[in-house]
């Protein structure tokens, strides 16, 4: 197998052995109707409505969309457009909590007995890719020909520095994850299930191996546990597929085109929780860490909780100069701690000045480090030149569209060039160019 790029970053997994702590219910939550890939959910509540935990407040608006549920019990305080983490505006529902956390009275575990009822349960759970991607899980699992699923790969890589929310899920919710795997085996009938975990997570590896070994005489293990090197971005979908199966997802194709499906371990835990308890996705585990945080922890918090409530719980020891939602490599810097946590927020990092300052950029020395470390085999330095010269035809030639925005190029660049940020702009330029060409050829 050819070796893909990637970088060895410091792990900073400070909270890997910190059990998840539930934060006090916040006085109010702000829940955006758009916190997944695809169409925003359609808000079905209005100001003054009383809601309970797990009650539907946003209906999935299409196949690639996701339902959204109240994460606290109380009264709808406002329904308005607010700034979203993505930089776009989104309709959000603000709920003033009554502090009671009353579960919605109509909740009950779904009847799952065949593939359609399983998929319906996944849809109703509100599950999306909890590793950060936010893709609606039911859309991923709905395949025209179930026989095409050769490999189901559980993503337990969690390769970004600092983040340990998946690690804690693999420890504390291991049975929920395993139960979902049994259902996937039963209804999608993959030939192989591989549970992929990076080597820097000894406890999840040990526990998952125990589960895999717990079989009746003559029975095959449900899943193979595959321990992967700790190399960022090991958890990237295409990386994982290649490193587990040796198959390359061709340009413009999907994992299923090579018989593979990758699902995050925390997403699997949420699906099982819903099927067993009837409670959809209303809260999640978030790692809170960074140089400005006094007591880094893993917290369970209702969706829509303001980031400030997480900081109040963990305490701050230095002035916060930068807040990142997600990991330091692929996460998004947010403007303030009023922003709410979303379904796919796996971490909130707060950094003090020393870590927040960007180093001064110097000219390219043509060292080729960015090319060597790009996991997609791109030539970031050439792409940067094409962008600066405003040559979208060269961006197309050098395949800017394949960029994962993983940050390996910027991380490895000795000239400290913010290549990843430029790559985002380059991809936008290429999209405009491609759209204009398509319009001209009509």
Torsion, Cα 10 14 15 18, to 10 degrees, reads 140
Report residue 224: phi and psi, to 5°.
-95, 135
As measured in angstroms, the least distance from the Cβ of 433 to ligand SF4 is 18
Q: In the complex with ligand SF4, which residue's Cβ is closer, 106 or 397?
A: 397
CB of 2 to ligand SF4, least distance (A): 16
Give how far the C-alpha of residue 53 lies from the chain's centroid of Cα atoms, to the nearest Å.
23
What Cα–Cα distance (Å) separates residue 336 from each residue in 82, 90, 163, 205, 325?
Answer: 13, 17, 20, 37, 11
What would the two tokens of residue 183 be?
A: 């259902």
Question: Residue 40 gets which letter from DSSP?
Answer: P
Exposure string of 285-298, with b = 16+ CB inside 10 Å and e = fewer, is: bbbbbbbbbeebbb
Nearer to ligand SF4, 97 or 420 (CB): 420
Smallest separation, CB 11 to ligand SF4 (Å): 19
Q: Specify whether the CB–CB gap between 375 and 406 falls below 8 A.
A: yes
How many C-beta neighbours within 10 Å does residue 268 have? Answer: 29
**What letter would DSSP give residue 258?**
G
CB neighbourhood size of 189 (10 A): 12
CB of 363 to ligand SF4, least distance (A): 8
375 vs 392 by CB, closer to ligand SF4: 375
Q: Which residues bind ligand SF4 (CB under 6 A)?
A: 364-370, 374-376, 378, 380-381, 403-409, 412-415, 417, 419-420, 423
Nearer to ligand SF4, 58 or 233 (CB): 233
Task: Say if CB 6 and CB 238 are below 8 A apart.
Answer: no
Tell me how far, at minimum, the Cβ of 379 lies from ligand SF4, in Å.
8
Task: Evaluate whether 378 touches 402 at the Cβ level (below 8 Å).
Answer: yes
> Least CB distance from residue 263 to ligand SF4, whole Å?
22
Nearer to ligand SF4, 8 or 295 (CB): 8
Smallest distance, Å, CB 424 to ligand SF4?
9
CA triple 196-256-159, angle to 5 deg? 30
Question: Which whole-number Å values give the CA distances from 261 to 55, 128, 244, in the listed order?
Answer: 30, 14, 11
Distance between CA atoms of 429 and 47, rounded to whole angstroms? 41
Taking the least distance from each CB to ligand SF4, the nearer of 188 and 413 is 413
Residue of 24, 111, 108 whose CA lies nearest to 279: 108
C-beta of 43 vs 410, nearer to ligand SF4: 410
C-alpha span between 418 and 358 (Å, rounded): 9
Q: What totals of helices (H) and strands (E) does the chain contain, helices first? A: 14, 17
Q: Cβ closer to ligand SF4: 366 or 441?
A: 366
Of the candidates 68, 70, 69, 91, which has an alpha carbon nearest to the alpha carbon of residue 80? 91
Structure tokens, 267 = 């997403």
Nearer to ligand SF4 by Cβ, of 104 and 387: the residue is 387
Residue 227 vs 371, nearer CB to ligand SF4: 371
Buried-state track 140-153, b at ≥16 Cβ within 10 A, e below 16: bbeeeeeeebebbb
CB of 400 to ligand SF4, least distance (A): 8
Nearer to ligand SF4 by Cβ, of 261 and 408: the residue is 408
């Amino acid at each position: 197998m050819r070796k893909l790029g990637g970088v060895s970053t410091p792990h900073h997994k400070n909270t890997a052995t910190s059990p998840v702590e539930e934060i006090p219910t916040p006085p109010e939550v702000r829940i955006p109707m758009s916190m997944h890939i695809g169409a925003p959910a359609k808000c079905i509540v209005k100001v003054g409505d009383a809601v309970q935990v797990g009650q539907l407040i946003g209906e999935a608006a299409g196949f690639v969309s996701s339902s959204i549920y109240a994460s606290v019990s109380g009264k709808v305080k406002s329904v308005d457009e607010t700034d979203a983490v993505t930089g776009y505006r989104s309709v959000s529902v603000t709920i003033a909590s009554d502090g009671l956390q009353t579960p919605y009275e109509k909740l009950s575990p779904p009847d799952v007995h065949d593939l359609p009822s399983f998929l319906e349960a996944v849809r109703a759970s509100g599950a999306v890719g909890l590793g950060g991607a936010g893709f609606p899980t039911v859309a991923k699992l709905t395949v025209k020909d179930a026989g095409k699923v050769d490999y189901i790969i559980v993503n337990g890589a969690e390769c970004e520095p600092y983040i340990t929310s998946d690690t804690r899920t693999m420890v504390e919710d291991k049975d929920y994850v395993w139960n979902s795997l049994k259902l996937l085996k039963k209804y999608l009938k993959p030939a192989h299930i591989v549970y992929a975990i990076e080597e820097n997570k000894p406890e999840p590896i040990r526990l998952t191996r125990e589960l895999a070994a717990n079989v009746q005489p003559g029975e095959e293990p449900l899943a193979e546990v595959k321990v992967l090197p700790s190399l960022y971005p090991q958890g990237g979908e295409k990386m994982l597929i290649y490193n587990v199966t040796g198959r390359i997802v061709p340009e413009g194709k999907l994992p299923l085109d090579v018989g593979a499906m990758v699902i995050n371990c925390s997403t699997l835990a949420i699906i099982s929780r819903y099927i067993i308890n009837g409670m959809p996705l209303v809260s999640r585990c978030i790692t809170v860490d960074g140089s400005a945080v006094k007591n880094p922890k893993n917290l369970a918090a209702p969706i829509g909780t303001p980031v400030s409530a997480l900081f109040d719980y963990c305490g701050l020891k230095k002035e916060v100069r930068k807040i990142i939602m997600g990991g330091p490599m692929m996460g998004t810097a947010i403007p303030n701690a009023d922003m709410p946590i979303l379904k796919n927020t796996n971490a909130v990092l707060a950094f003090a000045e020393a870590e927040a300052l960007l180093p001064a950029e110097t000219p390219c020395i043509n060292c080729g480090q960015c090319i060597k470390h790009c996991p997609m085999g791109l030539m970031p330095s050439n792409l940067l030149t094409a962008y600066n010269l405003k040559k979208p035809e060269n961006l197309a030639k050098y395949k800017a569209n394949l960029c994962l925005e993983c940050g390996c190029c910027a991380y490895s660049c000795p000239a400290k060039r913010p290549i990843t940020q430029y790559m985002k702009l380059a991809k936008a330029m290429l999209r405009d160019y491609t759209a204009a060409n398509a319009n001209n050829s009509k």
